[in-house]
Amino acid sequence: MQDNKAWYTDGPDATPLRRTLYNLWKQIHTLEVKSLNIRWGTLPLDLDRYLLINSRYDPTDMSCQLTGNTCYFQTYLFGVLCKVGQPVLAPGAESIQLHNVDKLQSTTVAISRFLLEFFVPNAGKVMRPLTNSNIVIDFFRYKEAPYFELMTGYLQHLELNVPDYEVQYLKTLEYLQKTKTLHKYSKFSLSGAMTSTLNTKSLQPVFGTDDAVYKLAQSNYYKYRACNFMFGFNTGIMNGFKSFCEFNAWRKNQLLAFYDKLRPILGGCGRRPSPTNKYRDYYFMPQFEVGQQELIDLHDWTYLIDMCAMPSGGGSNAEMAMVQRVNQLMVQDIFFSTQKRSNYDKMLTQAEFTASKSYYKAFLDSFMTIPYLTDYMGLGFAEINPREKDINSLTQTVFYSTDLMRGQAYRMEHEFEKECINQMARCLPASSIKHMPTSACFACASCLAFPSAALRLPCCRLASFSRL
């Protein structure tokens, strides 16, 4: 429409309908449906059998999407209905008739078989190109997929043979074992390191704890960033971590904001002379980190700081010094309570914090590790106002001692600020308050690597670790 305005409005073939369509298109961003004087109605499909695109329990109804992220597939099924079935209004406009019902059935059967034989069709004579090796890891999640039940149930409903889906897995593994080199390339062009973060126009800040785990610690963690460094430590976010992978992805997200400052220091952290630890792979999300130097450096860095934080002393003196240098660069973005019962609603200044031997040394040695985040918890409101200029315990997330909050959570305070902080701690799950330090519940997932933490965490989620 934008390129062919005359055809719609002024050309020799322009019609009132085309002019109406063009005027609607011009107003599409401001138009409201109620202004169009449209009467809505429902017309049933003139079908008496189940054909995948309609409801199994009421064939006259269209099918509905089964998960929250399959609207495109549902749109595809509607396209199949229109392209193959060729719907038309029945006489009297009381239903929708389909010209090619039998062809629609054969097409939907072919779609179901195509998906159930996707990787190794034609009884193993053809292999589809493998572009993602995660099939080996994620294949058996099909048992939880509603669309697997939809396709197999449809073929069973028609009393047709249902392909054995697990043959796809066995044939793929057989191919991988026999074929050592999957791809060959004639030449490479080196264009430099690939950036791991989007540009500032599309990098989205997170101002609330709702969906923050999804945004900061799961597959989209490189698209979002906590609105400020301390808000990322809000216990409302961290208490939602379900596995060590999420916890470590969140740490990388936090550190990406400092990467330009940290890069000169992080350069050699990945060259450890010791053998690779068997737990190291749990720090890695390969689908995002291959070729992205920032995430590769931070992958090695998070492994290093956890090794240095272990009670047995997993890091050398040089590595401990590197950890302290990095943490020194982040201290200016930290808000730390006085940790005194009389005024814990107040914050230490940066000078006071760095002058405190116990608090500052713990920060330099183990910041962002499981032991540190077990001893200190970030409390703040679930929403943060970016326009707020005052910096205090009510406008920011602040680190408090878990021992202090264990004692204060259910105490009544007459001072408004203290009572707010107590209620923030009180809103955590009961097990987190009763068994502090389980506010850092994500530590459970790494309890095999950190057995001392597992002994202190009664709600250990070993299932999360085993699923990895």
Determine which of 86-95, 201-210, 369-378, 411-420 has the lowest per-residue pLDDT on average. 201-210
Helix H, strand E, coil C: the string for the chain is CCCCHHHHHCCCCCCHHHHHHHHHHHCCCCCCHHHHCCCCCCCCECCCCCCCCECCCCCCCECCCCCCCCHHHHHHHHHHHHHHHCEEECCCCCCEEECCHHHHHHHHHHHHHHHHCCCCCHHHCCCCCCCCCCHHHHHHHHHHCHHHHHHHHHHHHCCCCCCCCHHHHHHHHHHHHHCCCCCCCCCCCCCCCCCCCCCCCCCEEECECCCHHHHHHCCCCCCEEECCCHHHHEHHHHCCCCCHHHHHHHHHHHHHCCHHHHHHHHCCCCCCCCCCCCCHHHHCCHHHHCCCHHHHHHHHHHHHHHHHHCCCCCCCHHHHHHHHHHHHHHHHHCCEECCCCCCCCCECCHHHHHHCHHHHHHHHHHCCCHHHHHHEEEECCCECCCCCCCCCCCCCCEEEEHHHHHHHCCCCCCCHHHHHHHHHHHCCCHHHHHCCCHHHHHHHHHCCCCHHHHHCCCCCCHHHHHHC
Instruction: Give 455-465 pLDDT, tens digit per residue.
Output: 333 333 333 33
Rounded mean pLDDT, 346-351: 93
289-317 burial, b if ≥16 CB within 10 A, otherwise e? beebbbbbbbbbbbbbbbbbbbeeebbee
Determine which of 143-157, 194-208, 452-466 has the lowest per-residue pLDDT on average. 452-466
Rounded mean pLDDT, 113-120: 90
Instruction: Give 26-39 pLDDT, tens digit per residue.
Output: 888 787 877 777 88
Q: What is the pLDDT of residue 133?
A: 67
Per-residue pLDDT for 222 more than 70? Answer: no
Determine which of 17-21, 248-252, 333-337, 456-460 has the lowest per-residue pLDDT on average. 456-460
Quickly state the pLDDT bin for 124 (edges 50, 70, 90).
low
Cα–Cα distance for residue pair 234/59, rounded to 1 Å: 50
Q: What is the pLDDT of residue 101?
A: 94
Q: What is the pLDDT of residue 411?
A: 85
Per-residue pLDDT for 202 more than 80? Answer: no
Return the closest-CA partner of residue 290 out of 193, 223, 368, 150: 193
Threshold 0.75, pTM exceeds: no
Determine which of 143-147, 172-176, 333-337 has the lowest per-residue pLDDT on average. 172-176
Are the beta carbons of 206 and 229 closer than 8 angstroms? no
Name the more confident of 408 and 128: 408
Q: What is the pLDDT of residue 462?
A: 30
Instruction: Give 330-342 pLDDT, tens digit per residue.
Output: 999 999 999 999 9
Task: For the chain, give the percent of residues with pLDDT over 90.
Answer: 34
Quickly state the pLDDT bin for 269 (edges 50, 70, 90).
low
Q: What is the pLDDT of residue 12?
A: 82
Name the more confident of 423 and 196: 423
Per-residue pLDDT for 376 more than 70? Answer: yes
Chain mean pLDDT for the chain: 80
Determine which of 95-104, 121-130, 302-311, 364-373 has the lowest per-residue pLDDT on average. 121-130
Name the more confident of 90 and 270: 90
Q: What is the pLDDT of residue 353?
A: 94
Per-residue pLDDT for 41 more than 50? Answer: yes
Rounded mean pLDDT, 253-257: 87
Per-residue pLDDT for 141 more than 70? Answer: yes
Determine which of 167-171, 306-310, 439-443 has the lowest per-residue pLDDT on average. 439-443
Quickly state the pLDDT bin for 76 (edges 50, 70, 90).
very high
